[in-house]
Amino acid sequence: MQKAKYDALMQCGIIKMEYDFVERVGKIWFPDKECCDFAGCVEWFKKIDKGVRAIMTFSGEYIDTCYYLSKKDEKWGYAPFPRIEFSAYQLSMIRDALLSESD
């Protein structure tokens, strides 16, 4: 089991995170079979960059949920994913789709 630091805003343990300040996309990893609080995750990344546009969450090695800021109404939405492995290329395509939604 990987060590994780509990975060009260996320309401779960965090293993690691990445943030792309150019694309304004965050990625965050939780222990296997754990997930975060949707509103808490968005607020957590807004503390890093108020202009965050998309967040990809991972549970263990699997992508779990993607959050994105809708370009239509400026509200946050989400897209859950099945527990399957995605290649780096597939993940980049998911990221690009999220960004096109938030353009």
Q: How far apart are CA 14 and CA 22, in angstroms?
A: 23
User: 56 falls in which pLDDT band (50, 70, 90)?
Assistant: very high
Q: Quickly state the pLDDT bin for 51 (edges 50, 70, 90).
A: very high
Q: Please check the confidence at residue 103 and state whether its pLDDT lies above 60.
A: no
List Cβ neighbours of 79 (8 Å cut-off, separation of 6 or more): 65, 66, 68, 98
Beta-strand ranges (E) seen in 16-88 are: 16-20, 25-30, 54-59, 62-69, 76-80
Give pTM, 2 decimals. Answer: 0.81
Q: Say whether pLDDT at 93 is over 90.
A: no
CB 57 within 8 A of CB 41: yes
CB 15 within 8 A of CB 4: yes
> Residue 43: which domain range?
5-102
- Say which DSSP state 3 is in: -
How many domains is the chain built from?
Answer: 1
pLDDT of amino acid 102: 59
